Amino acid sequence: MNSKTSGSITTSNSTTGKLSSGGSSFMASAGSGGTNSAFDEGGFLEGQILEAPNLRTFTFLELRTATKNFRPDSVLGEGGFGRVYKGWVDEKTMNPAKSGTGMVVAVKKLNSESMQGYEEWQSEINFLGRLSHPNLVKLLGYCWEDKELLLVYEFMAKGSLENHLFRRGCAPLSWELRLKIAIGAARGLAFLHASEKQVIYRDFKASNILLDANYNAKLSDFGLAKLGPTGSNSHITTRVMGTYGYAAPEYVATGHLYVKSDVYGFGVVMLEMLTGQRALDPNRPNGQLSLVDWAKPYLNDRRKLARIMDTRFEGQYNSKQALQSAQLTMICLAAEPRSRPSMKEVLETLEQIEAMKSRAREARGGSGSSRDRGHGRGTAQHRSSPRTSDGRRGPSRAANGHATKAR
């Protein structure tokens, strides 16, 4: 993804911009005391915090071999602080393997000339290296050799949610798949918030939600993550970092970062999944640059909501589920952090919304209406692509790979 820099603000051709940023303080914050595998909210989160990063140390030669010398045709994605390459390793030994054999991995090669590249590399190791959960991308290992900084991740076959929502050539996701993805992402975020040492993700957005071969959502890119407030503190104060359109208003205005600042970002992504529109898009008509500002008046009324639902659904979605999802989105986007739900509450609500269809089928004796049967089947996401409301052709084919984005 090409990017351009203007002062301390970086904008990308995805129409979202990166706020000025600083390094993670996790090393200093987590250096005292061990980690904890017990959580305030219990076992439904299915995760654990490891006592120390359990990662393989790769040599630069091994990763160069695994990626075919970092050949251009191995590139999966590119951002302002490096590229991600497709590589192959032996599943048991993790030694480099011949292309097409063994296990596919994603190798991120960070820009060694950038201090932020180093800080994000360090933060990834200390967060993803110690956090284990089905809805977090698995960090397998790293390399720090001379000036070379690399990270090795599990390969996510379906790429990013951003690609499926917005990139030309990607198949539109069915309503049921979007709900599944939202639930998976909510589980990952709830896990981060529920640990004794809360983790604030700080960069929740569609490009950071990666999908495996079965469309299971996993959070990636922990370069901006921070440990949350301690004791009686409600927030931490830090340099403003994140992405325009997703960052919570109180954080952008004051630098005060709350755990529920992540909930706002989740609401923005929910809105993108409902509408098929980007959080920020200067190509939209006047007054519609900000998706949140434009869409909010439509979220509490079923008829109004239908006017802004993604046209690529072609009407094939459960309107009751959509309305309840929109109402949940509305409270996630509340101006005041204390008025937003916790991610545990968000997750529980989404699971109840998903269960609505099962209950309806049971009440009908297992026979769904034509409206319900029309979406959510295994091939429902591979429909033809009508034009969106602004006249652009929607995506039509799935992208494959572990995507990154411009900083």
Domains (range + CATH), the chain: 50-154 (3.30.200.20), 161-373 (1.10.510.10)
Q: What one-letter code names the amino acid at 199?
A: V
In 333-381, which residue ranges form alpha helices assigned H by DSSP?
343-363, 370-373
pLDDT of residue 350: 98
Q: Specify the higher pLDDT residue, 115 or 129.
A: 129
Strands 217-219 and 3-6: what pairing? unpaired
Rounded percentage of the chain residues whose pLDDT exceeds 70: 74
pLDDT of residue 241: 86
Q: Which of 203, 281, 310, 372 is catalytic?
A: 203
State how far the alpha carbon of 352 is from the alpha carbons of 115, 133, 324, 333, in Å. 44, 22, 10, 20
Q: Is 281 a catalytic residue?
A: no
- The candidate with the shortest Cα–Cα distance to 218, out of 407, 402, 396, is 402
Each residue of 176-190: pLDDT tens digit? 999 999 999 999 999
The single residue listed with the structure tokens 């004794």 is 196
Average pLDDT estimate for 47-75: 87
pLDDT of residue 172: 93
Mean pLDDT of the chain: 81
pLDDT of residue 146: 86
Each residue of 216-228: pLDDT tens digit? 999 999 989 999 9
Note the pTM of the prediction, 2 decimals: 0.79
- The candidate with the shortest Cα–Cα distance to 209, out of 402, 382, 381, 379, is 402
Q: pLDDT band for position 232 (50/70/90)? A: confident
- Cβ count near 60 (within 10 Å): 16
Burial 283-313 (b: 16+ CB within 10 A, else e): ebeeeebbbbebbeebbeeeeebeebbbbbb
Average pLDDT estimate for 231-247: 90
Is residue 379's pLDDT more than 50? no
Q: pLDDT band for position 77 (50/70/90)? A: confident
109 is in an annotated binding site: yes
In 68-205, which residue ranges form alpha helices assigned H by DSSP?
115-128, 161-166, 175-194
Distance between CA 209 and CA 224 in Å, rounded? Answer: 15
From 230-234, 265-269, 382-386, 399-403, the region with the lowest mean pLDDT: 382-386
